[in-house]
Amino acid sequence: MSDNESDGGGDASVDAPALDATAGDAGADSAFDASTTYCAGRTTALFCDDFDRTTPLAALWDSTTLPGAIGLIDSSHSRSAPSSLSLVADASTGPLANLSLHKVVTVGPSAVAFRFQFRPARTGAGPSVVKFNYASGFGYYAYMGETINVRVGGPIPEMNIGTALISVNQWHLIEFVIEPPTMTGAGHGRLTLKVDGTVAIGPRDLDPAANAHYTTSAAIDVGIVHFPTGSWSGWIDDVEVANVP
pLDDT digits (tens, 9 = 90+) for 164-191: 999 999 999 999 998 877 776 666 778 8
Task: Check whether 20 has a pLDDT greater than 50.
Answer: no
Q: Starting at the edge strand that comes first in sequence, how are the strands of the sheet with 96-106 ordered?
A: 63-64, 96-106, 217-227, 128-134, 139-144, 147-153, 159-165
Q: Which domains does the chain have, with CATH numbers?
A: 34-244 (2.60.120.200)
Residue 12 has pLDDT above 60, yes or no: no
Lowest average pLDDT, out of 62-71, 145-154, 163-172, 201-210, goes to 201-210
The least confident of 26-30, 56-60, 62-66, 77-81 is 26-30
pLDDT band, residue 24 (cuts 50/70/90): very low
Q: What is the pLDDT of residue 72?
A: 92
Average pLDDT, the chain: 79
Question: Could you tell me if 25 and 81 are in contact, meaning their C-beta atoms sit under 8 angstroms apart?
Answer: no
Distance CA 15, CA 215 (A): 22
Spell out the alpha helix ranges (H) of the chain: 181-184
CA distance 167 to 99: 25
The per-residue pLDDT for 193 is 92
